[in-house]
Amino acid sequence: MEPSKSISSDHLDQHVQLEEIRLLYGGTPFSFSAAVVITLIIYNVLLGHVTSQQNLNIWLFTILGVMFIRSIDSYLFSKRNKQQQLEKKWRIRFYIGTGIAGLSWGLLPWLGYSAEIEYFSFILVCLVGVVAGSLSTLAYRWETLALFLLPASILLILRILAENNSFFNATAFVLLVFIFFSLSAGKKIFNNTQQNIRLRLEADGRERAIELMHQKQALHLQNTPLAIIEFDIDLNVTEWNKAAENIFGYSHSEAIGENIMRLVLSRDSSVEAEKLWQRLLNHEAVTGSVIENKTKSKEAIFCEWFVTPLTDEKNEIVGIAAMALDITEKKQNELAIIKSKEEAEKANQAKSDFLSSMSHELRTPLNAILGFTQLLKYEKTLSKKQQSHISEISNAGNLLLELVNQILDLARIEKGHLQLSMEKVTLADCFKEVRAMVSPLAEKNDLSLDINIESNGYVIADYTRLKQVMLNLLSNAIKYNVEHGSVSMKALQKENGVVRISVTDSGRGISQEQLQEIFLPFSRLNTASNIEGTGIGLSISKQLVEMMNGSIGVSSTLNKGSDFWIELAGNLNITSAIESKSKTMLLDDSLNDETNASNNILVAEDNPTNQTLIMSQLEALGYTAELAENGQEALNMMVNTDYHLLLTDCNMPLVDGYKLAQTIRDRGNHTLPIIALTADAFPEKKADCLKAGMNDHITKPVNLQTLKDTLEKYLS
């Protein structure tokens, strides 16, 4: 604030200086002509009465000469522009001119001296008049007054004193007093004049600023897109600008004096308007309140209102000033966005629901296909051809299962149901496990597989999901390779605690255009058409890696090979203490354990195919089992027989698996192991099972090894 203040006061000072010098020079034409007249009168009166006529002539020429030079100086000044007039030289020239003029007048009693007392007194009176007159034109500056007055009066007083006469001595004293008062009066006039100049300049400046402000306000009022409306305490409109005319459709003359509520308010908004009015009456300003309004043509519009109460000096509300912005378009866009978002969410939800129920429905028949196929593999009587057919069915079934699992993953991710458990994953363990899983496939395709299981260090990830991504990349690298090609997986430390795991193959590669869409769901490239695949593995991998706060990418050259990489937070130089168990899902050679027969298992399952399958599986594992068609039958059977374990389907008629488990626990049996068999692979299903009192849960299709391991866990 300070600098601007000093700038404006500097500006004012300059104005004052300019005004002063102009007033000083401006006074000269009048004072010079008056001085010439007085000079000529004095000369004429004194003519013939002076001691020396020659001295009087010298005085006359001196004073007229000085007047003439000053007139020319004054004329030159008037021809200069503002900036030049402000130059210091004009001030100095005026001061010198005034001093010389004062001196010339002071010479009058010396050069025009008359021994006759009445003529000398005449000189005295004339000089006093000149001095008094000079007050009006020279008092704009204190210095000019002094410069004129002092030489003129001192010379006069000295001349009077030289007379050595008591009358003149008294006159000299009176004159001295007169000079003193003239000077102090001059000083006062100077001060007042100064102040007047300042006040006038300030007032001029303010007047101009106010005028400018009015102009601006008028312009804004007319051109702003904001409706500016004022109304009195009775709600009658007093101000209505152009924007208000445009927004609400009423002209200025139609609106003035009308009730604002009737003009702009739709019936639906009266409650909101009433609330707003109450706030205003409490002297509260209301900003950004959105109200549904209506136009003259009864069209509904949305306006954002900024409203303030106007108060008088007693702080009583005398009216309201309001601004309204038409936001109908914005509001409509917002509503359209919300609606389309809701629709998109609904469609997405429907898609996810469809996918998850589809995959559930597919799991049930798949359970039978894969289960029976697995059992058939152990049938010793089958011919080679039949075994090969069984193997084909098994492969196709597994592929279908993979597709179902992947669709389920996709649905889970989209629903936001997929939960990750982030931990430090030891790379060596993970590498070892995936190597064990993919090396048979690599061998089958005659490819060299190089997975560096010596990799030290860890990454922050979900163990199972990281393995899933690695398996997807490795199986792709194997599937889309060439004969005798190679596949390798390596870990590399990048800067900032980031580890890159890259899977490189010497396969057919991917073209640059195709690279763009490779991570989109169901994007299978033409070249892949003769190779089994679902087209969603990479899209799931991308979403999983991103959920693990990592990134995934690829670089590839057609007919040379591809390099798929993922980057995750981690460190390669430290070995994590985490131990991961290497689970090989290979089925034990000996399925049947003699001791199992002593365990009696109750199976509750309603689907006939699944009934046959699970009973056959249990038989293959050497267990004795009895079957109940539903939960109610299972409960009835348990009244008479003690079972060692209950395997139950979840969805059954009459009493379902959850109700069955709950009833058993409610009846006080807390020791019987209850294991669910469910086609639902969602984690929340598992939680539901545990909540109902079950001990564990096996997802269909039931893998023989998993069934064996789970039963042994609870029956040992």
**Contact footprint for ligand ADP (CB under 6 A):** 472, 476-477, 480, 505, 507-508, 510, 518, 523-525, 528, 533-539, 562
CB of 468 to ligand ADP, least distance (A): 11
197 sits in which H/E element: helix 166-223
As measured in angstroms, the least distance from the Cβ of 293 to ligand ADP is 54
Q: Is the peptide bond before 521 cis (omega within 30 degrees of 0)?
A: no
Give 536 or 711: the residue with its C-beta nearer to ligand ADP.
Answer: 536
Decide whether 105 or 480 has the Cβ nearer to ligand ADP. Answer: 480
CA 436/CA 586 separation, integer angstroms: 11
Work out how close the CB of 526 gets to ligand ADP at its nearest, in angstroms, rounded to a whole number: 8
Q: How many Cβ atoms sit within 10 Å of the Cβ of residue 581?
A: 6
Q: How far is the CB of 453 from ligand ADP (least distance, A)?
A: 21
Between 320 and 540, name the residue whose CB sits nearer to ligand ADP.
Answer: 540
In the complex, what is the shortest distance from the CB of residue 482 to ligand ADP, in angstroms, rounded to a whole number? 10
Q: Please state the closest distance from residue 413 (CB atom) to ligand ADP, in A.
A: 14
CB of residue 568 vs ligand ADP: minimum separation in angstroms?
19
- Return the structure tokens found at 630: 């539903």
Give the nearer residue to ligand ADP in terms of CB position, either 109 or 533. 533
Which three-class secondary structure state does DSSP give residue 451?
strand
Q: How far is CA 223 from CA 220, 226, 427, 436, 649, in A?
A: 5, 9, 69, 77, 75
Secondary structure of 374-419 in HEC code, one letter for each residue: HHHHCCCCCCHHHHHHHHHHHHHHHHHHHHHHHHHHHHHHHHCCCC
- Choose between 505 and 633: whose C-beta lies nearer to ligand ADP: 505
Answer yes or no: are the C-beta atoms of 161 and 195 closer than 8 Å: no
CB of 556 to ligand ADP, least distance (A): 7
What is the token pair recorded at 616? 């056959």
**Of 463 and 564, CB closest to ligand ADP:** 564
Write down the least CB distance from residue 476 to ligand ADP, Å: 3
- Write the Ramachandran bin of 70: left for phi over 0, alpha for psi from -120 to 50, otherwise beta: alpha
CB of 480 to ligand ADP, least distance (A): 4
Nearer to ligand ADP, 536 or 698 (CB): 536
Distance between CA atoms of residues 367 and 331, nearest Å = 53
> How many residues does this entry show for the chain?
716
Q: Which helix (H) or strand (E) holds 85?
A: helix 82-85
Q: Which residues contact 195 (CB under 8 A, 6 or more apart)?
A: none
- Written as six digits, the tokens of 109 are 């009693």
End-to-end CA distance of the chain: 88
400 within 8 A of 436, measured Cβ to Cβ:
no
- How far is Cα 269 from Cα 292, in angstroms, rounded to an integer? 6
Looking from the CA of 536 toward its CB, the CA atoms found within 13 Å total 16
HSE-CB of 84 using CA atoms within 13 angstroms: 6
Q: Which residue is nearest to ligand ADP (CB)?
A: 533
Quick one: which H or E segment has residue 499? Answer: strand 498-505
Report, in Å, the least distance between residue 575 CB and ligand ADP.
Answer: 30
Which of 98, 562 has the CB closer to ligand ADP?
Answer: 562
Cβ closest to ligand ADP, residue 345 vs residue 446: 446
Q: Which two tokens stand for residue 331?
A: 């509001």
* Nearer Cβ to ligand ADP (219/558): 558
| Smallest gap from residue 439 Cβ to ligand ADP (A) | 17
Q: How far is the CB of 528 from ligand ADP (least distance, A)?
A: 3
With tokens 């001691």, the residue in question is: 51
> Of 321 and 525, which has the nearer Cβ to ligand ADP?
525
Name which of 28 and 534 has its Cβ closer to ligand ADP: 534
Query: Rounded distance, CA 192 to CA 195, Å?
Result: 5
Spatial CA neighbour of 286 closest among 324, 256, 234: 324
Query: Which CB atom, from 284 or from 546, has the smaller least distance to ligand ADP?
Result: 546
- Torsion from C-alpha of 467, 470, 472, 476, nearest 10 degrees: -150
